[in-house]
A and B are shown apart, each in its own frame.
Chain A
Amino acid sequence: MKKKQSKALKDKSKDLVEILKKHGAQVYEDLENGQFPKISIPNRSISNIIYDKKLRQYILGSGTALRSSKNTSQLRSFTQLIWLAFFANKLTQQKKSSTLRDVYYSSQAFEVDFEDQGESDNIIVDLEAVLTKPREEFYVFPEERSSIFGDLTIEYTIPGYEGKKMNLSDHPDGYAIGPSLTSSQLVDTSAELVIAIEKGGLFTRFIEEKVDKKFKSIILNTGGQAPRSTRTLLKRLHDEMGLPVVILTDGDVYGEHIAMVIKSGSANAAHLRELTVPDAKWMGVWATDIDKYKLPTIPMTESDIKRCYDLQKDPRYQEGIWKKELEVFLKIKRKAELEAFSKYGLTNITDKYLPQKLELAKSL
């Protein structure tokens, strides 16, 4: 199992370098022939985003936009895209991680004239779309804000740590999900379950209450909406280690959607695959739980309510608990946070609520 995974990862990196080289060679050839090079980029506008029922996620339609170096209004962004490919190639080959902000500042050594970071971020998404690969694969990582804890042994692949193993239950604060963790091999685990939780505070409580041991689980803090590297890790835990994923969020419409994004992605990342865990389960806090567990509540705001109506139009909210809970939220117009359980004692959530919901999740 270990060997197989290792190979797959190497292939991935090699794959990316190959694709980049192919694009580079095409541009080179065009210039050599006195042709203005151009590149076809999948259209990421809303009109080209469609929901694929089979894949259970949003994908891009067949629409593409041609970016040509002959067109003076596209020349700059074309150059920027080629620069980014060049830069991504370097990062990948040297296994050097960077952030969106790093990319923006790195560009300034090359006079490719990004006006602001927004513009360079946009080009990064363009490259993702061209390659159909998330930026983490070309070593552009988000700021670390999510973390993981539990009995999971990993083996680093980053330079200087190659082959070094590590168990993620050794440090009681958990481990930040950064580039080295994301790019490491998943070696072994005794866990039977991944619990993704929206909030850092509850993550710490879960570690303190030894939820990992009690429920044979890996605990993962998404830090709000899960970053894509975290989602990739969740997917790998599910696919490579065969672990089911359950999600615990605040009892509001945003929490429901955090779960949905882990399960089936976002429209923003419609150009990417392999970021979703279609089998992941949202186990709470549901709108129906608010009444059931007599949780203290806060009234929903105008924007909460608007968000409910917006999500009702989303094809993924047309059935099951997704549809039902949304309707209840709209009916009661109140919401409850995970911390609301503290009214009944700090361990109430791990002692009472969690076991019940885990039991229930099995039947979902």
Chain B
Amino acid sequence: MSSKEEFNQISPSEFFYRNRDLAGFSNPTRSLYTAVREFVENSLDACDHSGILPNIHMTIKAVDPEKPDPKQYILTVKDNGPGIPSKHVPLAFGTVLYGSKFGLKQARGMFGLGATMAILYGQITTNKSVKVKSNEDGKTRYDFELILDIQKNKPVILKKEEKSSSEQGLSVSICLEGDYAKAGTKIRDYVYQTSLITPYATISFDDPKGEKFHHKAIIRVMPPAPTIIAPHPYGIDVETIRRMLVDTHYQIPNVDDKMIEKIRKELGMTKKKFNYNDIMKKADKKWKSLTRPVRVVIALMSFLQADFEKLQRIRIEDVDLRNNKLVYWDYSTSQTIAVDMETENPYYKQLANTVQGESLIHFLTKRFQRVGPTAASEFCKFAKFKTETRVGNMSDQELVKLSDALQTYEGFRSPDPTCLAPLGEIPLEKGIERRFQPDFMAVVQRTASAYSGFPFIIEMGIAYGGNIKSNGLKVFRFANRIPLLYDEGSDVVLKVVNDTDWGRYKVRSDSASMVIVSHICSTRVPYKTVGKENVADRPEIERELRLALQFLSRKLSSYMSKKGQAEMAKKRANLYSKYLPLIAQFCTELAGKKKEPSYQKMIKEEIVIEEKTE
């Protein structure tokens, strides 16, 4: 449903240029971090969707290392993904809002505009071009140098080269004003945490100080990719319904050369010129095999008694079913003409159906997920609509009423989570194990749930002891496989963690070395701010988080009590081996004996018993 023109009208790059704070480019520190995120996430998304195990290499280099921060840096992110067709490269990187992420499925970025924002920011601060190298087939690499024309929202190609290269993938390099001294910690955290939640990816990073960070992939299997699905009724608004109505097969097709070509083809009349009667005859014969748009055009032609030539000269203005009039504009005479439509005409019904659109029940069952015929007719009863109401005829008020009812009706099944891509318990576990080598760990993936029509899945892991360096509880927050690093305090995950009474689970949260990894997957993560760094506390999400944490805490608790028992046993054995010899010594003298009693086996037995219970 994406087309470039549509979005050009909504948001030109100038709008983003003026509002760059919104996208996370407010200052050199934040901008460097955001740019890193946007490119890395684009690469990961591209690999995910093509089923390629990601291998991403990032470098940040100072243009002049001697200068103090903030200064110019060159940021390069190279992946092994599918690359971008060379003809799309200029548009993809030189146009704001060019992208393919508009379907309803989980992806890291929302609209794919962040990368362009980064390029835009780089261009504004350094006046340097972006270098893109794309290799789709592992044979040919196309190298571009582009700048953006901000006013026109258009790319300007400075250089284009074709080279032979066996390395598939995409490499993007920009020059931008940044402050690595300040952003460095966050960027390293970001790379580290991304590797934790993407254990199937190899991510390496060469930082400006010459340090190299290499996070090798831990697993060789990718979690299943999400699928694009129809929206759920709960997540809908009036504007979306209106768009769904427009974006339908039930439109009067635009009759252009292409359309006529199509009709000819379907009727098998490609060669010769045909008159009106020939067309009608042929159409009647082949009616069953004709596609819908062709049928509609045939119907129109029958009412207008028009052949292809005439059809090309006019534009249909209105199909007025109330008065049974067909109104059209004639280019050759420059006037509006209305013709009566005979209701007996066999093509009348075809045209009428098309104009009125599908019936409501059909619209609901076909265009939404989780709505079957029963649910749809139940809903119509609830919303006081007739099931056979034609959606094309609905007034604005009716649309509002429909939209409201869709969100208040409680009979729909919960959203379909197949559009989500949780990491999965095993990869999550492997990731945690590799990073922390904890003494204890547990992971859980909750079943899918939904908040206001958006499905989501909570995944959570807990790790204790081992190589965990932190003293106290550390929470790693992720949303759609993106680490959330800023604004920790106001996040719903933190709220749930802080509400937990750890004492109940035999954990001293202030001193224990403990890590919680929380991953929220959703088609729309409810971020509190545009910065997309903290998740709002929706009751449904909070509930799922709580249940996940409780489940894990109970497991931890049972580990802790086992550990406690083992420690007790050890302590006890120590006490016995300390005091029993003393008792033996004293009582031997008290009793006036010469030889000490043989108590040694008591100490050993005690240890053996305790080891078994452990």
Contacts and interface: CB of A to CB of B under 8 A. Distances in A.
Contacts of B592: 21, 24-25
Contact of A31 (B575, B578, B597, B605): B597
Interface string B577-614: 01110111011111111000111011001000000000
A265 to B, nearest CB: 29
A32 B598 contact: yes
Given A34-B601, A36-B602, A24 B579 contact: no
A86 B586 contact: yes
Interface string A242-253: 000000000000
Interface in A3-39: 20-21, 23-25, 27-29, 31-32, 34, 36-37
Interface stretch (A75-83, A94-102, A140-148, A329-337): A75-83
Contacts of B590: 20-21, 23-25, 27-28, 82, 85-86, 89
Given A32-B598, A36-B602, A72 B572 contact: yes
A176 to B, nearest CB: 32
A112 interface: yes
Given A69-B580, A79-B582, A86-B586, A24 B591 contact: yes
Contact of B586 (A72, A76, A83): A83
B588 to A, nearest CB: 6
Given A69-B583, A72-B575, A78-B583, A31 B589 contact: no
Interface residues of B, number: 24
B583 to A, nearest CB: 5
B591 A21 contact: yes
A76 B576 CA distance: 9
A25 B591 CA distance: 4
B381 interface: no
Nearest to A79: B579
B582 A83 contact: yes
Interface string A64-78: 000001001001101
B566 to A, nearest CB: 14
Contacts of B599: 31-32, 34
A69 B578 CA distance: 12
B583 A85 contact: no
Interface of B: 571-572, 575-576, 578-580, 582-584, 586-593, 597-599, 601-602, 605
Given A21-B592, A69-B579, 7 more contacts: A20-B590, A24-B589, A25-B592, A75-B579, A78-B579, A86-B587, A112-B582
Contacts of B602: 31, 34, 36
Contacts of A72: 571-572, 575-576
A90 to B, nearest CB: 8
A112 B579 CA distance: 8
B25 to A, nearest CB: 63
A27 B589 contact: no
A78 B580 CA distance: 10
A87 to B, nearest CB: 8
A28 B593 contact: yes
Interface string A27-68: 111011010110000000000000000000000000000000
A28 B596 CA distance: 8
Given A21-B590, A32-B597, A37 B582 contact: no
A86 B571 contact: no
A31 B582 contact: no
A111 interface: yes
Contacts of A21: 590-592
A89 B592 CA distance: 11
B299 to A, nearest CB: 94
A85 B572 CA distance: 24
Contacts of A110: 582
Determine the main DSSP class of A at the interface with B.
helix
A86 B589 contact: yes
A296 to B, nearest CB: 58
A23 B579 CA distance: 18
A67 to B, nearest CB: 12
A245 B80 CA distance: 108
Contacts of A28: 584, 587-588, 590-591, 593, 597
15 contacts: A21-B592, A23-B590, A24-B588, A25-B591, A28-B590, A31-B597, A31-B598, A31-B599, A32-B599, A37-B587, A72-B575, A79-B579, A86-B589, A110-B582, A112-B582
Nearest to B569: A72
B575 A24 contact: no
A46 B599 CA distance: 37
A36 B575 CA distance: 13
Contacts of B571: 72
Contacts of B572: 72
A86 B580 CA distance: 15
A27 B583 contact: yes
Contacts of B582: 79, 82-83, 110-112
B210 to A, nearest CB: 56
Contacts of B588: 24, 28
Interface in A83-135: 83, 85-86, 89, 110-112
A86 B585 CA distance: 9
B603 to A, nearest CB: 11
A29 B593 CA distance: 11
Nearest to A24: B590
A79 B584 CA distance: 9
Contact of A82 (B575, B583, B598): B583
Contacts of B578: 111
A21 B591 CA distance: 5
A27 B591 CA distance: 9
B233 to A, nearest CB: 64
Contacts of B598: 31-32
B579 A31 contact: no
B576 A31 contact: no
B601 A82 contact: no
B99 to A, nearest CB: 67
B187 to A, nearest CB: 52
Contacts of A23: 590
B592 to A, nearest CB: 6
Nearest to B578: A111
Contacts of A79: 579, 582-583, 586
A344 to B, nearest CB: 60
Contacts of A24: 586-592
Contact of A75 (B576, B586, B601): B576
A37 B584 CA distance: 10
Nearest to A31: B597
A20 B588 CA distance: 12
Contacts of A89: 589-590
- Most chain B beta carbons < 10 A, residue from A21, A23, A82, A110: A82
Given A20-B590, A24-B589, A36-B602, A75 B584 contact: no
Given A21-B592, A72-B575, A75-B575, A31 B586 contact: no
Contacts of A36: 602
Q: What 8 A-B pairs come out closest when comparing CB atoms?
A: A24-B590, A31-B597, A86-B586, A27-B587, A32-B597, A24-B591, A25-B591, A28-B591
A110 B578 CA distance: 11
Contact of B580 (A20, A25, A31, A32): A31
Contacts of B593: 28
Contacts of A83: 582, 586
A79 B578 CA distance: 10
A89 B586 CA distance: 10
A72 B571 CA distance: 9
Nearest to B590: A24
- Most chain B beta carbons < 10 A, residue from A31, A69, A75, A89: A31
Interface string A149-174: 00000000000000000000000000
Contacts of A82: 582-583, 586-587, 590
B513 to A, nearest CB: 27
A151 to B, nearest CB: 42
Contacts of B586: 24, 79, 82-83, 85-86
Contacts of A34: 599, 601-602, 605
